[in-house]
Amino acid sequence: MSRYVLALDQGTTSSRAILFDRAGRVHACAQQEFPQHFPEPGWVEHDPEDIWRSQYEVACQVLRESGASASDIAAIGIANQRETTVLWDRATGEPLANAIVWQDRRTAHICDALREAGHAEVFQRKTGLVLDAYFSGTKLKWLLDNVPGARQRAERGELAFGTVDSWLTYKLCGIHVTDSSNASRTLLFNIHALDWDDELLGILDIPRSVLARVVPGSGTVGTTRPELFGRPLPVAGIAGDQQAATFGQACLKPGMAKNTYGTGCFMLMNTGRTPITSHHQLVTTIGWTWGEGHDCRTDYMLEGSVFMAGATVQWLRDQLGIIQHSSEIEPLAASVPDTGGVMFVPAFAGLGAPYWDPYARGTILGMSRGTTKAHIARAALASIAYQTADILQAMQQDSGIALQELRVDGGASRNDLLMQFQADVLGVPVIRPTVTETTALGAAYLAGLAVKFWESEEEVTSQWHVERKFLPNMGVQEREERLGQWRRAVERARAWA
């Protein structure tokens, strides 16, 4: 009998592979960073072959180092960085260009033109998204318009477009598919009809022939090529990383929400089987589709995205040099009682929800001669919490649901100082689970449920356990004053570029 599910967690800066046992525990993990490319200001790229190579190598590594063989694996689940756009040759599998990463802002002018032409309403109504360079559709349009010969080849059916899930399943299985959660992030997919939308394809001038077949997030879509792992393995779960984390946090009922603190920061609230249109600059997205036939079910989410969370700490480390390792941020920030009046708006790649300002830029305000690197470090952590508070306010206004607790995961969720401040500025308990690898766990659960490694939703829910609960201890007046000061700082960072 198979003992594990293998989760492939393909992120923005690294690829990981994790083996989960039947109790939902991490049995073994391997991780590998890969290069980031910044060819022009505001541009962020990955080599698709780096993505594949690093992901395959850690998958082999985790099997080798754990002593597991392919026969021990019940299924593979994939969680992926979303919106990152790959275009490749169907016949050879060769990418036509570097992948355009979700953080990339080069298509902001395309989004401006679409808004000026009056298209914003139809995109939001059909896709649940705002017109922003964050999403994949304008990235694909840019590739077709700027890579020599790409548009003509696409129209002849020679090219395949995909987000990272599609790229990985193509390399693993030789198929061209995507799941509904990733499709819903492209500006091309009608989240009500659950199909690619011809009107939107026409507006963006994208031929339907480049698009992948859309499959449920939980269900066997193919098997890996035998030579990769020694025997074919079913790929049975696919989800964008934030939807996967929501599933891994067992936020399976309406009103439950999680926040992931990774490169970016992403809060998702489950709204059930009915999509809720946002009136406060959030996006409506598909969480997951699972089941077959009449039992097929789609759950929807409200989502707010912060572009710079862990990436802000990386900037302090790599560009400013005030820390040598990311783990040093917490003791440095804790060495001062407060920020000393410093406000840090990390809008290095613009601002995400609820502002959607691609022209905002990073700003540090309130410095004096007495400001130290510790004050800047503490302000950087506070900025992550403040951005999340902005999203929660919008989310509660859209949904009419008062959040009872926020479940947290991702690397920075291990930072106790940040988590306590997050609870303080939200005014609700922040709960960190025993297993914080929830992105990979969600992908594993989606795959394991499809092959009956786990029997039911209830079994999955029963495996979620609290590691620590952070209770708010900041008064309402202080909270409002701090949030007011934060929003003043945001206004000074906006529309800069």
Point out the annotated binding site for ATP.
12-14, 263, 310, 314, 411
d(CA 427, CA 29): 35
Which structure tokens are listed for 38? 């910044």
d(CA 138, CA 200): 11
Question: Which residue ranges are tagged as binding site for glycerol?
Answer: 82-83, 134, 241-242
Question: Which residue ranges are tagged as binding site?
Answer: 12-14, 16, 82-83, 134, 241-242, 263, 310, 314, 411, 415
DSSP 8-state secondary structure symbol assigned to residue 317: I
Kindly compute the dihedral angle of the four CA atoms of residues 126, 261, 379, 33, in this order, to the nearest 10 degrees. Answer: -110
The owner of tokens 């202080």 is 478
Q: For strand 99-100 and strand 45-46, is the pairing parallel, antiparallel, or unpaired?
A: antiparallel
Which structure tokens are listed for 219? 């269900």
The owner of tokens 């990418």 is 95
Helices marked H in 23-85? 48-66
- Residues 482/425, Cβ–Cβ less than 8 Å: yes
Question: Which residue ranges are tagged as binding site for ADP?
Answer: 12, 16, 263, 310, 411, 415
d(CA 298, CA 261): 25
Reduced to 3 DSSP states, what percent helix, strand and coil does the chain have, rounded to the nearest 5?
40, 25, 35
The owner of tokens 């696409």 is 154
Q: Tell me whether the omega of the peptide bond preceding residue 275 falls within 30 degrees of 0, making it cis.
A: no
Question: Which residue ranges are tagged as binding site for sn-glycerol 3-phosphate?
Answer: 12, 82-83, 134, 241
The owner of tokens 């995909």 is 162
Can you list the positions of beta strands (E) in 323-413? 343-345, 363-365, 406-409
Residue 56's alpha-carbon distances to 5, 30, 49, 60, 430, in angstroms, are 16, 11, 10, 6, 35
Q: CB within 8 A of 115, min separation 6: which ones?
A: 131
| 3-state secondary structure (DSSP) of residue 268 | strand
Other beta carbons within 10 Å of 147: 15
d(CA 37, CA 347): 19
Per-residue burial over 15-47, b if 16 or more Cβ lie within 10 Å, else e, is bbbbbbebebebbbbbeeebeeeeeeebebbbb
Q: CB within 8 A of 339, min separation 6: which ones?
A: 366, 375, 378, 379, 382
DSSP 8-state secondary structure symbol assigned to residue 407: E
Helices 241-248 & 438-450 angle (0-180, nearest 10):
80
